[in-house]
Structure 1
């Protein structure tokens, strides 16, 4: 061996880098990602609002929503919760959503937790237009670690944007074709 200290130092440096990649990031680090998708839906804002805020409909129009449980049969009110099984960017899991803002028919926000940890926020903003409704869906999530931030930048963000775009297109098609009750 030429210089065992050099090898030990290199191994320790690699271990430190790996540990830093997986260490939780402080809340002050601004590594939030915001995915926004907008569509013009030729239906009144109240119809769109009631449909999208009723969790039983989510698996019908959102490809990432596999199943919902809890209070799913009505538009959720402030403070109500629902559990959702999801597959986002290939990752399966379960999230509990809590309604944190509700201003019908213009705004609705839910905050998610996975295993008690913040998982993201979804906000629906609806504006009445001459032809119906301008619907905006914004999904905001924070990178919990540097490793996640790198993976998000390389792969996840684009996949999540694509899934969100598909969801809103499905929503538009569904609501414009099918009369809602």
Structure 2
């Protein structure tokens, strides 16, 4: 029988982290005693760069999780392959949130690739809580870029960072 999984990764770009992401992290923490949020560099996300730098996204995620009572969750930046990071930190699984069928198709492809690279790395999917099923970082960024109120979608530190980032528009 394989060893039980005691450490999981919750990877993503987190540009920026939203309450939907926080919900997935909280649920991963219920499943497993050790959770690491892995913030991907994602240089070419959707053909453009990210709104926030890697260091900013790591900092925003750390503060958001702390604000939400998840101080025992580690947040780390990473570049390269997720399977390499999992080996490096000793994580036995990846936890991803699913909002819709399109998320499932993309995440299934990623899980299949990860399996081919490391058959011991499990993929765990959690369904989005209904109140976050529509929520994505790109929607939050778009609303914020037009001066809209995103405070119900993100923690106060992220709300402030978005206002600051888009204030000149």
TM-score by length of 2: 0.29
TM-score by length of 1: 0.28
Hey, which of these two has a bigger chunk of strand by percent? 1
| Structure number with larger C-alpha Rg | 1
